[in-house]
């Protein structure tokens, strides 16, 4: 999981307010029930001494979403009187909570968010194509590609006196248009870091475009039989197919990360397991991918300082490295901050994986010997 979107969150001085609020509406008095749930969370924050301006900012975000009926649940992180990050959850949070602490409690949000793969969806016909780039944080950009060759597009029927000439001309027109679409697909995939390309539409146009995209990208490209560029075409079937393809890609990634971790750990090279070794690797900037169990109730704690790399098992260890006032917080919160700010990735270990119960581990960029 790419953690880049969390970087701005950690620029605050803290302490942070973390709120997971259930905004589901299941009764006649739906808005009132959800508002009462928020008030209970707010009261809990007041008991913890949360600043009034920060509470006001969180409340405005909650009530705005509630009145607009946008989502069933939200994760909100605020500090210094402002909301630093607000994420709409796919459903109500597994556990509603309101917490003030030195660091934001982001693990439940990341687990609910899931692995979001950047991808490109391509709809083609013989005149051009529509390219939709979707980034890991859900931003979309649509690029319309109109081919330069418009006539002739269709081959003539058998028996026409100039059939062969028109057929050659039609094939050349398709080829030219496909080449233009293929170039744009390559550029779009590079811009959004696409890990998958789904191409749909006219069968012959699909084949022509596939021949034009780069060989590297072709290995990540899947054809979908559903979807059309025609006006009024129903996109629901294609959307369902894209979700299925992305789910398969995510499963592949899970297997690849688990396999690499097992291999590197067995060889004693670029992997570590356990909290002490992972903390040490994060402090050295070695961690390429942090592995964490999805355990929101984990009792593990670490001592932290103001900088992302300020984390240790004991307060004395941080004082020795120059941190004047170390404070204690959740271990997962400290580990994720350190990984995100060092451009590391996160892999939340699913409960059915062989490594469930690992606690914490990491795949490393390099070894100390290197």
Per-residue pLDDT tens digits for 223-249: 887 766 565 556 788 888 888 888 888
Backbone angles phi, psi at 260, to 5 degrees: -65, -40
38 or 146, greater pLDDT: 38
Per-residue pLDDT tens digits for 77-128: 999 999 999 999 888 998 899 999 999 999 999 998 888 888 999 888 878 8
CATH number of 119-250: 3.30.420.60
DSSP label at 5?
G
Residue closest to 81 by CA, chosen among 109, 98, 61: 61
Report how far residue 168's alpha carbon sits from residue 148's, in angstroms, rounded to the nearest whole number.
Answer: 17
Backbone angles phi, psi at 8, to 5 degrees: -60, -30
Determine contact, residues 220/197, Cβ cutoff 8 Å. yes
CATH number of 4-113: 3.30.960
Report how far residue 154's alpha carbon sits from residue 171's, in angstroms, rounded to the nearest whole number.
Answer: 9
Q: How buried is 162 (Cβ within 10 angstroms: 0-12 exposed, 13-18 middle, 19+ buried)?
A: exposed
The pLDDT score that the predictor gives to residue 350 is 72
The pLDDT score that the predictor gives to residue 20 is 96
Report how far residue 167's alpha carbon sits from residue 364's, in angstroms, rounded to the nearest whole number.
Answer: 56
Residue 100: how many other CB atoms lie within 10 Å: 23
Task: Quickly list H helices, the chain.
Answer: 30-47, 52-68, 107-113, 163-192, 203-212, 215-218, 236-267, 275-283, 315-320, 331-341
Tell which CATH architecture fits domain 268-364.
2-Layer Sandwich (3.30)
Question: How is the chain split into domains, by residue range?
Answer: 4-113, 119-250, 268-364
Q: Is the pTM of this model over 0.95?
A: no
Per-residue pLDDT tens digits for 123-178: 888 788 888 998 877 788 898 888 665 545 554 455 554 556 555 556 666 677 88
- Give the mean pLDDT of the chain: 85
Got the DSSP string for 342-367? Answer: TT-EEEEEPTTSTTTT--EEEEES--
In which band, very low, low, confident or very high, does the pLDDT at 34 lie, cut at 50, 70 and 90? Answer: confident
The two three-digit tokens of residue 365, written as one number = 């960029």
Per-residue pLDDT tens digits for 182-210: 888 898 888 888 888 999 888 888 888 88
Provide, rounded to the nearest whole percent, the portion of the chain with pLDDT above 90. 40
């Amino acid at each position: 999981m790419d953690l880049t979107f969390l970087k701005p969150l950690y620029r605050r001085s803290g302490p942070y307010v973390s709120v997971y609020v259930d905004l589901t509406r299941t009764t006649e008095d739906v808005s009132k029930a959800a508002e009462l749930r928020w008030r209970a969370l707010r009261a809990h924050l007041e008991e913890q001494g949360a600043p009034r301006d920060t509470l006001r900012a969180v409340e405005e975000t909650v009530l705005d979403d509630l009145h607009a009926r946008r989502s069933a649940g939200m994760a909100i992180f605020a500090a210094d009187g402002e909301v630093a990050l607000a994420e709409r959850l796919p459903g109500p949070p597994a556990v509603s909570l309101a917490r003030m602490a030195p660091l934001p409690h982001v693990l439940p949000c990341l687990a609910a968010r899931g692995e979001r793969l950047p991808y490109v969806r391509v709809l083609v016909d013989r005149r051009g194509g529509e390219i939709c780039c979707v980034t890991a944080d859900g931003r979309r950009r649509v690029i319309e590609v109109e081919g330069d060759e418009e006539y002739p597009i269709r081959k003539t029927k058998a028996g026409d006196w100039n059939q062969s000439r028109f057929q050659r001309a039609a094939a050349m027109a398709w080829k030219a248009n496909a080449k233009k679409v293929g170039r744009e697909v390559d550029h779009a995939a590079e811009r959004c870091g696409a890990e998958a390309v789904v191409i749909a539409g006219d069968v012959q146009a699909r084949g022509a475009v596939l021949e034009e995209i780069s060989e590297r990208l072709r290995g990540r490209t899947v054809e979908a039989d559903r979807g059309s560029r025609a006006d009024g075409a129903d996109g629901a079937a294609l959307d369902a197919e894209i979700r299925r393809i992305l789910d398969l890609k995510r499963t592949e990634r899970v297997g690849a990360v688990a396999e690499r971790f097992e291999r590197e750990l067995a060889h004693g090279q670029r992997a570590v397991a356990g909290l002490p070794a992972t903390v040490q690797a994060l402090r050295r900037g070695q961690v390429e991918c942090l592995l964490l169990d999805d355990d929101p109730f984990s009792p593990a704690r670490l001592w932290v300082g103001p900088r992302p790399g300020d984390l240790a098992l004991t307060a004395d260890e941080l004082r020795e490295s120059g941190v004047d006032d170390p404070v204690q917080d959740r271990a997962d919160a400290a580990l994720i901050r350190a990984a995100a700010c060092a451009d590391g990735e996160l892999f939340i270990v699913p409960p059915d994986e062989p490594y469930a119960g690992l606690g914490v581990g990491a795949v490393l960029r390099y070894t100390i010997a290197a």
